[in-house]
Amino acid sequence: MAKKITNAQDLAALRDEARVQIGLRGDPKEIQITVHMGTCGIAAGARDVLGGLLEALEGVPADRVALRQTGCAGLCDREPMLTLTDQAGRQFRYGKLDARKAQRIVRDHVIGEEPVTDLLMGE
């Protein structure tokens, strides 16, 4: 059950907590990971990919990575997929993923700063 707000300090604390939570999704970060969650992505397993990412990102500082969801990217045969955008604005699109592959992307690309070339989608 949620704690009751009984004074201005409780309200301020709630506001500050909400700002932190919103900042995890919206503030500029070094890396942005976008999971494509259109109908085709969800049917192909995008929820499992998102869960794998969340698990792998537990040890990564929250101010470093933003994790977002978006709709269909129009490449249904490559789902589930994600797009990783680095600080320089370069985009890396990974396809045909599962939770383990998503965790590998976090380990090798996000933490190790080396793209996982065998999972990258060709242009």
Closest CA to 80 of 63, 99, 57: 99
pLDDT of residue 105: 96
CA atoms of 98 and 105, how far apart (whole Å): 11
CA atoms of 90 and 31, how far apart (whole Å): 10
CATH code, 112? 3.40.30.10
pLDDT of residue 61: 81
Tens-digit pLDDT profile for the chain (123 aa)? Answer: 567 888 888 888 888 877 766 665 556 688 999 999 999 999 999 999 999 999 998 888 877 888 899 998 888 889 999 999 998 899 999 999 999 999 999 999 999 999 999 999 975
Structural domain of residue 87, as residue ranges?
A: 28-119
Residue 89, domain member (yes or no) = yes
Number of domains in the chain: 1
pLDDT of residue 27: 60
Q: What is the CA radius of gyration of the chain?
A: 17
- 3-state secondary structure (DSSP) of residue 38: coil
